[in-house]
Structure 1
């Protein structure tokens, strides 16, 4: 990966974390925590979704949607683990 793609993944992940915090209201970790979850969710979505054959298209909007889905799933799983 080149620096530009890593930087883009961080920015998209931060935006996805913020969006996932809005979607999963009450399960977030605050602004900074949700941004970190979004970055991790974007990374995981980038690894797992193509292997599963799940694709939402190309472009920046599709990347944000992809990362947001990954971050929402990650927030849901963290919420489950945190509750038990």
Structure 2
């Protein structure tokens, strides 16, 4: 089953949204999470191909994309700069 470009984009955006919700506070905001979902969809496809897993149907593609987006968000979070508390001198 081929989703086509538009279908893949929609699945990727949905995956980014879901992954941002699952990561609970480890997302980077709505727009970045949506972009991460698109990249995660490709990443998830690569990972599933490596382990020999096949997906079937739109729901299968969505699960694969969400898994890829969660892993990609987690990797990005590892390399994201941490916010340090501001010290006020008085």
Contact 1:42 1:66 in 2 (8 A): yes
Task: Determine whether 1:43 maps to 2:29.
Answer: no
Provide the residue aligned with 2:65 in structure 1.
67
Residue 51 of structure 1 aligns to a residue whose secondary structure is helix
Structure 2: distance between partners of 1:54 and 1:69: 13
Greater gyration radius: 2
Moved over 2 A (4+): none
Unaligned runs of 5+ in 1: none
Q: CA deviation at 1:83?
A: 4.5
Give structure 2 stretches of 5+ with no counterpart. Answer: 83-90
TM-score (norm 2): 0.80
1:77 pairs with 75, 78, 88, which one?
75
RMSD: 1.8
